[in-house]
Amino acid sequence: HVKRLDYDQRRAYVRAVGVDYYTDAITSTSVKILDGFEREQRQGRVTREHGEVHVTWRVSGFKKIKFDSRENVGYGEVNLPDHEMHTTSFWLTLDHQMLANLGYARSELLDGVVGLAYALHHLAPFYLMCDIHDLNRCVGDRAANWFADEERQGRGRIHLGDDGDEPEQSQETWLRIGALPESNKDKLAERLDQLGVFEPTIFLYDNYPGGMGFSPQLYDQFDELLIHAHHLLENCPCESGCPSCVGPPNEVGNLAREVGLAVLKGLGVEANPLLAAGV
């Protein structure tokens, strides 16, 4: 248990406690692309890229997650300064027409993309032979006009900026991404409609300054990663999402798994019989 944090001196004063959970940070993140190294556009479906990015994130709290079930059992709040980092990232941008053809509202599509980002983030370490905390994720706009972040009890941030500029603090609109009452769903849908062309980008970035070389590997293994995600979402025994696939439904919404799987099928991803056979 953290009794006191001296941020200036980089010291935390703690005491030992016996609990059945661990903590994980709740962050709000934005990513600005600085340079692209490789790019492939698959017409009408998706564009994959990797390159250098500038990441800004804010820690606003933490989750308490049970060791065995990985369910969220509580939250806490912290107030820390923003952090900035120059690193490398892999990202994929979903085509707006492909998403529109799926027949879901933009708010539902956003739930699905956030859930898919969760799945890709948790699968990537198996391909990279790294720890999950060596990577991080962000869902937003390739031009940095808006970002959506998972937050406490599903609260999310929609940044609405002009010409790709980062909005001022007063321009930020905070909304819930998942598990919304109807009135808030209408408000979120209205905000999303203001975005014009809706082409969410999933960023998986190296969680170290300068990068660790993960992004070109993710770029090269893009197809295998999506096939693995399809297998995970299609075969998870949960009903509407869980920490093992797209994240808890109270954070990403009850349709996140369904929509995430629909997005993968819209990308032309099909089941792999070898994965189904456990090979």
Tokens 């690193």 sit at which residue? 87
**Per-residue pLDDT at 173 exceeds 70:** no
Rounded mean pLDDT, 51-55: 97
Question: Which pLDDT belongs to residue 273?
Answer: 61
The residue ranking higher by pLDDT, 59 or 203, is: 203
User: Which range is most confident: 13-17, 60-64, 170-174, 179-183?
Assistant: 13-17
Residues contacting 119, CB < 8 A, separation 6+: 229, 232, 233, 245, 246, 260
Rounded mean pLDDT, 137-149: 87
Question: Which pLDDT belongs to residue 65?
Answer: 87
**Per-residue pLDDT at 151 exceeds 60:** no
* pLDDT tens-place string over residues 204-232: 999 999 999 999 999 999 999 999 999 99
Q: What is the pTM of this model?
A: 0.81
Task: Using pLDDT thresholds of 50, 70 and 90, give the confidence band for residue 177.
Answer: very low
Specify whether the CB–CB gap between 144 and 166 falls below 8 A: yes
Question: Which pLDDT belongs to residue 200?
Answer: 94
Task: Using pLDDT thresholds of 50, 70 and 90, give the confidence band for residue 84.
Answer: very high
Q: Which one-letter amino acid corresponds to residue 198?
A: F
Task: Using pLDDT thresholds of 50, 70 and 90, give the confidence band for residue 161.
Answer: very low
Instruction: Return d(Cα 132, Cα 121) in angstroms, integer.
Output: 7
**Per-residue pLDDT at 174 exceeds 60:** no
Name which of 4-8, 227-231, 234-238 the model is least confident about. 4-8
Rounded mean pLDDT, 194-203: 88
- Coil/strand/helix, residue 94: strand
Query: How far, CA to CA in Å, does 258 sit from each of 83, 102, 251, 264?
Result: 34, 11, 15, 10
Instruction: Return d(Cα 137, Cα 118) in angstroms, integer.
Output: 8
Specify whether the CB–CB gap between 189 and 109 falls below 8 A: no
Question: Which pLDDT belongs to residue 186?
Answer: 61
Q: Which two tokens stand for residue 217?
A: 């590997």
End-to-end Cα, the chain, rounded Å: 43
Question: Which pLDDT belongs to residue 178?
Answer: 41
Question: Which pLDDT belongs to residue 188?
Answer: 66
* pLDDT tens-place string over residues 24-47: 887 788 899 999 999 999 888 999
Question: Which pLDDT belongs to residue 55?
Answer: 95
Average pLDDT value for the chain: 83
Rounded mean pLDDT, 222-250: 93
